[in-house]
Amino acid sequence: MPVTERLPTTLGPYRLADRLGAGGMGVVHLAWDPAGRLVAVKVLHAVGTAAPGDPEAANARRRLAREVETMRRVRSPYVAEIIDADLTGDFPYIVTRFVPGLTLDAMVRGRGPLSGEGLCRLGYGMAEALAAIHAAGVVHRDLKPGNVMLTDDRPVVIDFGIAQAGDATRLTQTGMVMGTPGYLAPEVIEGQPSSPASDVHSWGATMAYAATGRPPYGGGSYEGVFFRIVSGRADLSGVPAPLMPLLSAALAKDPAARPSAGQLSAAIRTLDTSAPAMAHPPLAAPYQAAAAPAPPERARHSPAPRGPAAAGALPGTARRDPQTKAGLAIMVCAVALTAVLPAAGLVASLALITVLRAADRSNAALAARRSARGPRPGDLPLVLVTAPLAVVRALIAEALTAPAALLAGAAAFGITMAVTHSFAMPRAGAYAAAAVVAWYGLGPSSAKARRQLNRMAAAFARSRATAAVTGLAAWALAAAAVLFALSQAPYYWPATAPHLPALHGLVSTAGTWLLRHAYP
C-alpha cells in the first residue's frame, strides 16, 4: 500500500482533508491551515518506507527541495505560489495556495472547447505565467491541460512537481521521460535539456487542445505520439484562424524559431478570435514578431483586459460577484442588538455565528470536492449529512477562543464602569455581552461567518447597482442599530420585558436614516 495512503490526519500545522490528485512526485491533499483557510499540501511519494540512505529517496528529497526553491522565485497572479514546506520529516511536503475551480482538461472534457474571448484570456494568462516562471530562471517542464486551473476570470498554472531551474543539475535517470507525452517538446523527446522554448511548445499544444477539444498530436501509444511530435505533425484543424500563426510558431520543431512567452502574451492581447476556424491549416507558419504590435511597456505586466472583455471570461468559472461588505454590517447589527437585549441578543448572536461558521466550512468543502472531481449529484446530500459535524467543529473552534472573548467582555465591563464613575451594572453588563459578540463576529478568526453572510448577500448583488443598494441598506440598518443601542437602556429579556415603544423607535430611526441618505 502506498505510504501516502497511511498519512496522519495532520502534517505540521495543517489538517488534511480530501485527496485532490496524484502526480509523478506525490499526492496532493486539500488541507486547512491554522487560520482555517484552504491550502493544497503535496506529499512526496514513498519516503516514509524508504530505507536510510536509499538513493531514490535522497533523489526525491533533493528534487522536492529544488521544487520549493523554484517556486519561491516565482510570483504571478497566474501561478499558484508556495506558502510553506517541511522537507525533514517522514512525510516531506510543500504547501501552496489552493486554487478553486476546474482544470482546463476537466472543463474541455465536460463542456467542450473554449472559444472567443475566453480562449484569448486563457492563452494570455498561460503566457504570462510562463513569462514569470522564465524570468525567475525556471523551466516548468510539465505544462498541460491538467496543470491549468480555471478560477474566477483567469487561468492559474499549478504543479511545479517536475519544474527545474535552468542551472540545476538534472536529476532524472538516463532515458527517463519527465512530463506528459502529448505535450512534450520534440527536443525533450530527443534527449535534450528542457528550456523556456520547450514550455512554449507545451503552451501551443495546450492551447490547441483548449481550442479543439483534442490533443494536437493524437492518442495511442507513446511511440506514435512521439513520432508525430518529432515529425511536427500537429493537427490544428478547428483552431480559430487568428490563433493559427501563434500556435504554429509555438509548435515549431526548431526551438529557436519559437516566440518567447513574453512575445506570446503581447501578441495575443491584440487578437480577434471571432474569425472562423481553419478547416485545413498549414503545418507550419513562420512567426513574425511585427505581425502583432506589442502594447506599451507598462501593459506588459498588467492583468488581462477587463470591462467589455470580461464578457468573454473563461466559461464555467465563477465570476467574482460585486462585494457589498454586508457581512460586516450585519455583525455590527448583532453587536448593537446585544447591547440592547444582552441575554437574548448574546444567545441569538452566538447561535447565528456558529451556524454561519459551519455553513462556511461546508461550502468550502463542497467547493473543494467540485474543484477536484467536478459537480456530482451526491454533493448536496453529503453536505447535509456532514452538517452536524461542521456545527460541532464550529463550536469547538469557538470554545477554544472563549477565554479571549471573555477577556474582551471583562475589558468592556471595566471600561464602562470606569467611564460612568458608578456601578451601572446593567449597562456595563450589556456592553460586556456586546463585546463578546464583537469578538466572535468582528475579531480575529471571524472571517468565516462574515464570508458566509457575504455569500448570502451576493444573491441580491449580481450587478454593481444592486450591490450598492444592498450594501447601503445593510449599513443604514447597522448605523441605525448603533445609534439606537447608544440611546436606550438595556433590557434583560426574558427577565424583564423590552419597552415596545423603544423597539418602534429602532425601526423609525432606521427608516428615517435610509430615506435621507439613500434617496436624497
The owner of cell 528529497 is 61
Residue 360 is a catalytic residue: no
Other beta carbons within 10 angstroms of residue 191's beta carbon come to 9
- The runs of H, that is alpha helices, within 176-300 are 186-189, 196-212, 222-230, 244-250, 261-268
Return d(Cα 17, Cα 68) in angstroms, integer.
22
Residue type for position 292: A
Q: Which three cell numbers stand for residue 135?
A: 524570468
Return d(Cα 324, Cα 454) in angstroms, integer.
7
Query: Phi then psi for 281, rounded to 5 degrees?
Result: -75, 160
Q: Which three cell numbers stand for residue 80?
A: 499558484
Please enumerate in sequence order all residues whose Cβ is within 8 A of that of 496, keeping only pairs 6 or more positions apart, or say none: none
DSSP string, 340-399: HSHHHHHHHHHHHHHHHHHHHHHHHHHHHHHHHH---TTHHHHHHHHHHHHHHHHHHHHH
Q: Which three cell numbers stand for residue 163?
A: 519544474
What crossing angle do the helices spanning 261-268 and 196-212 adopt, rounded to 10°? 40
Query: Phi then psi for 58, rounded to 5 degrees?
Result: -65, -40
Catalytic residue, from 18, 142, 159, 167: name it: 142
Instruction: Single out the residue of 482, 484, 488, 457 nearest to residue 470, CA to CA.
Output: 457
Q: What percentage of the chain's residues is helix, strand, coil (to nearest 5)? A: 55, 10, 35
Instruction: Single out the residue of 251, 52, 51, 39 nearest to residue 158, CA to CA.
Output: 39
Query: Phi then psi for 142, rounded to 5 degrees?
Result: -150, 45
- The runs of H, that is alpha helices, within 310-341 are 326-340
- Report which DSSP code applies to 89: S
- Could you list the active site residues? 142
